[in-house]
Amino acid sequence: MTNGGSAPGADTGGMKTLIVHMQDESTGFLSAIYQDVREKMVLREPVSIASMNTLISSHDRILLLGHGSPDGLFSLDWRNPFVISSANASALVTKKGSVFIWCHASTFTRTHHLDGFATGMFISEPAEALLYDIPATAFTQQTIDASNTLFATTVGKYLSLPPAAMATQVRKAYKGNCPIIRYNREQIGK
């Protein structure tokens, strides 16, 4: 599937795409990934497990984006912390070529045998850089913002590719002389 029949892009070739991206300013940059997807439903608020499984089942491709842990994608609701968790694994396992972008999403995908493009730990904020031993003198907020923007636009550019090809192309294009980018590149498909 390509955008206009030529170069890869986010069009996704008429597939119905479910995008789960909770309303959160700190992950707003991820919207560049799906801005050019035509047939999409963007879910910005949590729903019940049953509703989520129904939504997953009724879409061709799934993009799960935001903050998370090895246990799933955070809902940003302290009463029910996950919008995607093991309770959604049986619905997700039937979907090929999904996109899982959150911290430690690759652990979640391996645990549940899910097919798709996934990230390991991903640094998108200064506190995360410090937590993963990148010295404060090695980055600025602008460095992190530039990394986030480059990553999201790069993923969006290659969104229509199969997961392995997508990971290869994103690793090639998402590069720079910055410890944040170098760290994050190593986490693609990890």
Give the pLDDT score at 11.
63
Low-confidence ranges of the chain (pLDDT < 70): 1-13
Write the DSSP assignment of the chain as a string of letters.
Answer: --STTSS--TTGGG--EEEEE-S-GGGGGGHHHHTT-SSEEEE-S---HHHHHHHHHT-SEEEEESSEETTEEE-S-TTS-EEESGGGHHHHTT-SSEEEESTTHHHHHHHTT--EEEBSS---SHHHHHHTT--GGG--HHHHHHHHHHHHHHHHHTTTS-HHHHHHHHHHHS--S-HHHHHHHHTBT-
Q: How far apart are CA 161 and CA 165, in angstroms?
A: 6
Answer yes or no: is 1 within a domain: no
Give the pLDDT score at 5.
37
pLDDT digits (tens, 9 = 90+) for 96-106: 999 999 999 99
Answer yes or no: is 2 within a domain: no
Exposure string for 34-72, b = 16+ CB within 10 A, e = fewer: bebbeebeebeebeebeebbebbeebebbbbbbbbbbeb
Give the pLDDT score at 189.
84
Give the pLDDT score at 170.
98
Give the pLDDT score at 7.
45
Total tally of structural domains belonging to the chain? 1
Q: How far apart are CA 78 and CA 75, in angstroms?
A: 8
Give the pLDDT score at 12.
58
**With contact defined as beta carbons under 8 Å apart, do 42 and 32 qualify?**
no
Answer yes or no: is 7 within a domain: no
Q: The domain containing residue 52 runs over which residues?
A: 12-186
Both tokens assigned to 107: 């652990």
Answer yes or no: is 103 within a domain: yes
Give the pLDDT score at 14.
75
**Which CATH number is 106's domain given?**
3.40.50
